[in-house]
Amino acid sequence: MYIAEVNYLSVLISAVAAMIVGALWYGPIFGKMWMGYMGKTEEQLKEGFNPAKTYGLAFLGHFIALAVLANLFVYLHVETIGGALHTAFWTWLGFTLATNFITGLFEDKKFGLLLIDEVYHLVVFFVGAIIISIW
């Protein structure tokens, strides 16, 4: 079995960058709009919120997604930023947007909420792709 030669330090840094993007995305950039689509106030979101668990698992999720992306870069011989962004886009489109869109349909998720969440994931994939490809 072939094991891809991935620079996991670049994946780790990409996961940290994803958390920073998330803090900005769901904070000052789209926080109020996101809460509106969720139908919740800031106080309601804080009820029963466990930051260590939530942020820890979110970080783990980002790390896994970006590690898979980095492995794809190796398997597909992606060697440029353009190639990395291209691969990140198609990966996001096929595996993130498509699956979350289907789930959103059955959950009757508001389109604005879906848009905020899915564009966030695209930005994370792009930021991660850039970091991993230049490392």
Tens digit of each residue's pLDDT (9 = 90 or more) over 12-54:
999 999 999 999 999 999 999 999 999 999 999 999 999 999 9
Residue 1 lies in a domain: no
Q: How far apart are CA 64 and CA 105, in angstroms?
A: 25
Residue 118 lies in a domain: yes
Percent of the chain beyond pLDDT 70?
97
Q: How far apart are CA 120 and CA 98, in angstroms?
A: 14
Residue 124 burial by CB count (10 A; 0-12/13-18/19+): exposed, middle or buried? buried
pLDDT per position as a tens digit, 76-85: 999 999 999 9
Neighbours of 108 (CB within 10 A): 6
Structure-token pair, residue 97: 């947007």
Tally of domains within the chain = 1
Residues 6+ apart with CB under 8 A from 3: none
Residue 26 burial by CB count (10 A; 0-12/13-18/19+): exposed, middle or buried? middle
Residue 67 lies in a domain: yes
The pLDDT, as a whole number, for residue 2 is: 59
3-state secondary structure of 5: coil
Which range of residues forms the domain containing residue 32?
8-134
Percent of the chain beyond pLDDT 90?
96
Residue 2 lies in a domain: no
Model-wide pTM > 0.85: yes
With a cut of 60, say whether residue 1 has pLDDT above it. no
Residue 3 lies in a domain: no
